[in-house]
Chain A
Amino acid sequence: MNDTILRTKNLKTYFYTTRGVVKAVNGVNFNLSRGECLCLVGESGCGKSVTALSLLRLLDSPPARIVDGQVSFGDIDLVKCSTRQLRQIRGKDIAMVFQEAQSALNPVLSIGNQIIEQVELHERISQREARARALALLEEMGIPSAERVIDTYPHLLSGGMKQRAMIAMSLSCNPQILIADEPTTAVDVTIQAQILEIFRNLRARKQMSFIFITHDLAIVNEIGDRAVVMYGGRDVETAPVSRIIKNPRHPYTRGLIACLPNMSRSEKRLESIPGNTPNPIELPPGCPFHPRCPKAMDICRRKVPSPTIVAEGHAVSCHLYAS
């Protein structure tokens, strides 16, 4: 797959706070191919969401600043392009679905008006056409009595409905890339299954690329083509999902996989990775995972590992595999 649509290179986003510099994203690299679903996986605080927000420069500056790196969308560098150009890309070429529809929908605008607003920002289209499109999208998302929902306000809808409305909104301009930031985390499991079903349908029907952010490896397994495992603001392992699940190489990924409950084995306790995620103000020197790593070596404390290709399409940043 050489048809890359989005490429990040050494992306670094730091937050400048009074307590110090928070290195939330500290060198992230990945490619997104056309029609692919790329999952960003990692624990809370590993920089997944900040990465997603950095792609469209949505973080408030100050305190956040993208200090280094590139985000290439076609021949545009999203880190350096003008705000004007960026505004035209946001919502039109690259759309975003947020974690909590509850807070990501404006409480004082009706569902329909929020979808129509996005359409009108990017296309010369009459109010009636925009409304018709909003209605069609809501129906497509499986919202019952969409012609009534379109004029209601977010607080009247259930969590699942809000999430659907937000997905409808993100699709309103037929984006090439959809960034979904934990879209199933704030809803219960039945809704989660339905939302995933929507994403799977979208994948089947539309030529769209997805960046799917989650901490749930089960979701990755269900929906992803490739996965980027993140730790301490870096990508530590990138591979096709089947390889990540069956043949993880990085000790951290192995830890994550080991944490999954396994029905075939009968264990008393679930595995866990000892220790906590590193403090992003004082990242450990060398590999950020070394204090928790069962296989830590001397070099891990001194040198940040660079990615090694261990198989086709499978890169690991770990000294264990350095040639």
Chain B
Amino acid sequence: MKYRTAGTSTSIRAGGRLAGYYWQRTRRNKLAIAGLAFIIFLIFLALFGPFFTMDPTEVNFDEKNLPPIGFSIEKSIYDINTDEFTTTIIRGTWKHPLGTDNKGRDLLAMIVSGARISLLVGLIATGMAIILGTIIGVLSAYSGGWVDNALMRFTDIMMTFPFFLLLVLIVFIFGHSLIFIVLAIGLTGWTGTARLIRSESLSLRTREFVTAARAIGASDRRVIFRHLIPNVMSLIIVITTLSIPGVIMAEAALSFIGLGDPTWTSWGIILSAGQHTLDTAWWIAVGPGIMLFLTVLAFNFLGDGLRDAFDPKSKI
């Protein structure tokens, strides 16, 4: 009869807080850590970047279509008096390290402020979707019977409803406002989460500790919020990280097809502005494109790493 101390079981620290244990497991995944590093960088960029860059809305037609630093383009101007083309070579300047768009706006500033919008949309809309999905999923699993049936059929209907059409409809009705875009993504994106959380909770509900919690006199609400939801927390964290990129992409896609909120420079809006000049001023679309790509990749790497860390069957 000996109390098994923390040291004897591998890599679990004394006290045995699970968060520490999962962090140890996540840390072994290099890609996940790289993803996490990029996400932290992105958050700092979004929080503080705009204080150091130019005003992203400042228009200057004298400096339009400047290439990024290290690149140059030939610019030919037709002189009506001499009937000749004068060709000058334009190089990128340090004033606009990533170049400018066709209105002379600084692309670096636009991308930095775009990070703010994209992250904000990603976090808020995902947060809404996850909270809704978790509550619906857990409630469905815990209640069972007709409540479960009603909630799951409602989820089915929401799932079969074409998401993009709904977004277009909402934007059409309420106008190009970022708030409605966030609401639309958040209020439609919870269905997958609800199903995953429900299936996880269904198996948890048959575990004895749920009965035990009721046997000590806990109310249904208490069982759900104190006993069930903390047990699906690992799943919630993984779903959250894996669905943020989808939401960021959805916002970018909406902006790209012209349904974004034009008052905010999101990455999708810069992309859509740059697509017409891809052959002459390629840098306008490439910058936000690369950022989108890296962001989605970073969240996916981190999400995969977390999923492996939380999965007791995976050996890492």
| B199 interface residue (CB < 8 Å to A) | no
| B144 interface residue (CB < 8 Å to A) | yes
Q: Mark B129-140, 1 if CB is under 8 A from A, else 0.
A: 000000000000
For chain A, residues 27 to 81, give those with C-beta under 8 angstroms from any C-beta of chain B.
Answer: 53, 56, 58, 60, 62
Q: Bound state CA distance, A118 and B222, in angstroms?
A: 12
Instruction: Report the stretch among A147-155, A248-256, A269-277, A291-299 that lies at the interface.
Output: A147-155
| B207 interface residue (CB < 8 Å to A) | yes
Q: Verify A98–B208 contact, CB threshold 8 A.
A: yes
Between B145, B208, B219, B226, the greatest number of chain A beta carbons within 10 A of the residue's beta carbon is seen for B208
Partner of B216 from A117, A157, A160 at Cβ < 8 Å: A117
| A285 interface residue (CB < 8 Å to B) | no
Q: Verify A62–B1 contact, CB threshold 8 A.
A: no
Q: Mark A132-152, 1 if CB is under 8 A from B, else 0.
A: 000000000001110011011
Q: Verify A117–B3 contact, CB threshold 8 A.
A: no
Q: Verify B212–A98 contact, CB threshold 8 A.
A: yes
The distance from the CB of B103 to the nearest CB of chain A, in whole angstroms, is 54
Q: Bound state CA distance, A156 and B219, in angstroms?
A: 28
Chain A residues closer than 8 Å to B227, beta-carbon distance = 106, 109
Partner of B231 from A58, A106, A151 at Cβ < 8 Å: A106
Chain A residues closer than 8 Å to B213, beta-carbon distance = 106
Q: Verify B217–A143 contact, CB threshold 8 A.
A: no
Q: Bound state CA distance, A157 and B214, in angstroms?
A: 23
Between B18, B214, B216, B227, the greatest number of chain A beta carbons within 10 A of the residue's beta carbon is seen for B216
| A301 interface residue (CB < 8 Å to B) | no
Partner of B217 from A87, A108, A109, A148 at Cβ < 8 Å: A87
| A244 interface residue (CB < 8 Å to B) | no
| B233 interface residue (CB < 8 Å to A) | yes
The distance from the CB of B5 to the nearest CB of chain A, in whole angstroms, is 9
Given A87-B219, A90-B217, A107-B231, A62-B144 contact (CB < 8 Å): yes
From B1, which residue of chain A is reached at the shortest CB distance?
A: A160
Given A103-B207, A108-B230, A143-B216 contact (CB < 8 Å): no
The distance from the CB of A176 to the nearest CB of chain B, in whole angstroms, is 14
The distance from the CB of B229 to the nearest CB of chain A, in whole angstroms, is 10
Partner of A91 from B2, B4, B215, B230 at Cβ < 8 Å: B215
Q: Verify A91–B216 contact, CB threshold 8 A.
A: yes
For chain B, residues 18 to 32, give those with C-beta under 8 angstroms from any C-beta of chain A.
Answer: 18
Instruction: Report the stretch among B9-17, B48-56, B84-92, B243-251 that lies at the interface.
Output: B9-17
Chain B residues closer than 8 Å to A88, beta-carbon distance = 217
The distance from the CB of A21 to the nearest CB of chain B, in whole angstroms, is 17
| B157 interface residue (CB < 8 Å to A) | no
| B273 interface residue (CB < 8 Å to A) | no
| B72 interface residue (CB < 8 Å to A) | no
Q: Bound state CA distance, A151 and B6, in angstroms?
A: 12
For chain A, residues 223 to 269, give those with C-beta under 8 angstroms from any C-beta of chain B.
Answer: none
Q: Mark B196-237, 1 if CB is under 8 A from A, else 0.
A: 000000000001110111111111001000110011010000
Q: Verify A155–B216 contact, CB threshold 8 A.
A: no
Q: Bound state CA distance, A58 and B219, in angstroms?
A: 12
| A11 interface residue (CB < 8 Å to B) | no
Q: Verify A156–B212 contact, CB threshold 8 A.
A: no
From A172, which residue of chain B is reached at the shortest CB distance?
A: B216
Q: Bound state CA distance, A186 and B151, in angstroms?
A: 38
Partner of A169 from B4, B17, B211, B216 at Cβ < 8 Å: B216
Q: Verify A108–B216 contact, CB threshold 8 A.
A: no
Q: Bound state CA distance, A151 and B3, in angstroms?
A: 13
From A145, which residue of chain B is reached at the shortest CB distance?
A: B3
Chain B residues closer than 8 Å to A143, beta-carbon distance = 3
From B219, which residue of chain A is reached at the shortest CB distance?
A: A87
Chain A residues closer than 8 Å to B3, beta-carbon distance = 143-145, 148-149, 157-158, 161
| A211 interface residue (CB < 8 Å to B) | no
- Listed from nearest, the 3 A-B pairs whose CB atoms lie closest are A91-B216, A91-B217, A104-B208
Known: A91-B215, A118-B217, A156-B12. 11 other contacts (CB 8 A): A87-B219, A90-B216, A91-B216, A103-B208, A106-B213, A107-B231, A109-B226, A144-B1, A152-B16, A156-B16, A191-B1
B-contacting residues of A (Cβ < 8 Å)?
A: 53, 56, 58, 60, 62, 87-92, 95-96, 98-100, 103-109, 117-118, 121-122, 143-145, 148-149, 151-153, 155-158, 160-161, 166, 169, 190-191, 194
